[in-house]
Structure 1
Amino acid sequence: MKIRLTLSALVLALAAVGSAHAKDDLDIARLNNSLDQLSRDPTLGNYAQGEQARARDAIARLAQARSKERPHALYVAERRVDLAKAAAQLQDAQLKINQLDREHDQIQLDGSRREAEAARRELERQRMQYQMAQEEAARLQAEGAAAAQQAQQAQAQAEQARKLAAAQAKAASAARKQADAATQAARALRNQMQDSGGK
């Protein structure tokens, strides 16, 4: 009877050990599978290589741990796998942020270039307007100078015509005086001749 109890206890103990080992094997397989999924991931697999290596070391230590050390080794291995995933996700996020920053910088640079080009075109337009205004002012100034010169010439011609008219008026007045004198002389001569004929 005692032997049967001992055998039963031994069988139960072996079953418990086998069950514990089976559970341990399941934990190791689960952690290895999780880490394998991470390393095969096309996006995240290339990141956090150091953390992935440390997680594999922690899983290996879990596989070799004695039963008393097993819970702590399991906790460390699980945290190492979680950390490897988080580190890979963080590196991927940082890479995406850096890429977005570069795209943002490029967009700002393109915007600055467009603004500079628009400012250059506006400056060129204003320069052309200024040049056209200068040319128009020069044309108007030349026209004004020509008009002033024509006015001066017209004034000189008018002055010359006035002097000529004055000279002609003077000559006409002298001719009139001469004609009056000749008329008077002829009248006097006629009167004299009439007086002489009557005597």
Structure 2
Amino acid sequence: MKRPTFTLAAIVLALAAAGSAHARKDDIDIARLSGGLDQLANDPSLGRYAQAEQARARDAINRLAQAGSRERPHALYLAERRVDLAKTAAQLQDAQVKLTQLDRERDQIMLDNSRRETELAQRELERQRLQYQLAQEEAARLQAQGQEYSQAAEQARAEAERAKKLAAAQSKVAKAAKQQAELAAQAAKAMRSQMGEGDQPAEAAPDASKKHP
């Protein structure tokens, strides 16, 4: 009787040890999954995302803790998948937010570049407009200056023509005066000649009564 009693006690102790080991393994799985989920929830970058998936993973871990030995493998599989899904969903949402932020930054950069390009284009147009205005003013000034030069040249030609005519008239007057002076000189000479002949005594005529021997 002692030997069967000893065998039964050994079996009970073995079952108790196996149950204890199984319970410790359950505790390890639950602690591992809970720790991973807590790490996700406390992550400053990912913790705010996938709240619904985190809640489902937490429920799956609680069901694992309450599952019997027969349901435990399936409950463990579901809990692991729920935790993995929560992590993946949080990472995906974080990536989407970062991508959206990058798109906004890119759009802002493109908008800023477009504004700068628009400002540069406006400045270039203003510079070209000023250059065109200055060119027009310079062309108008040169045209007015050319007209002034043309008028001055025309006036100079007119004055030269008048001077030429005046010189010709003066030449004619001088020539006429010279002719008059020559005529006056000739008249004066003739008059002096006549006056000189009148002042001389007449030569005595020979006496007819006197006869030559």
Please say whether Structure 1 and Structure 2 have the same fold, judged by a TM-score greater than 0.5.
yes
Match of 2:55 in 1: 53
Structure 2 distance, partners of 1:89, 1:40, is 14
Structure 1 distance, partners of 2:52, 2:168, is 120
When normalised by structure 2's length, the TM-score is 0.82
In the alignment, residue 80 of structure 1 is paired with which amino acid?
A: R
Cα shift at 1:55: 0.9
In the alignment, residue 17 of structure 2 is paired with which amino acid?
A: A
Cα shift at 1:132: 2.0
| Pairs aligned (count) | 199
Structure 2 gaps, min length 5? 203-213
Structure 2 distance, partners of 1:191, 1:41, is 151
1:83 to 76, 82, 85: 85
- From the CA coordinates, give the structure whose radius of gyration is larger: 2
1:177 to 176, 179, 184: 179
Structure 1 gaps, min length 5? none
2:13 to 7, 11, 14: 11
- Per-residue CA deviations over 1:84-107 (Å, capped at 9, x if unaligned) read 112112211221222122122212
In the alignment, residue 110 of structure 1 is paired with which amino acid?
A: D
When normalised by structure 1's length, the TM-score is 0.87
Structure 2 distance, partners of 1:26, 1:127, is 80
Structure 1 distance, partners of 2:151, 2:44, is 90
Cα shift at 1:172: 1.6
- The answer on 1:159 being equivalent to 2:161 is yes
Cα shift at 1:47: 0.3
CA RMSD of aligned residues (A): 2.1
Cα shift at 1:81: 0.7
- Per-residue CA deviations over 1:148-173 (Å, capped at 9, x if unaligned) read 11111111111111111111111222
Match of 1:104 in 2: 106
Structure with the larger helix share:
1
Query: What is the DSSP-based 3-state SS (H/G/I as helix, E as strand, rest coil) of the residue aligned with 1:63?
Result: helix
Structure 1 distance, partners of 2:146, 2:24, is 112
Match of 2:211 in 1: none
Cα shift at 1:192: 4.5
In the alignment, residue 131 of structure 2 is paired with which amino acid?
A: Q
2:146 to 144, 147, 152: 144
Match of 2:39 in 1: 37
In the alignment, residue 8 of structure 1 is paired with which amino acid?
A: A
47-56 vs 7-16, which moves further? 7-16
Structure 1 distance, partners of 2:192, 2:37, is 159
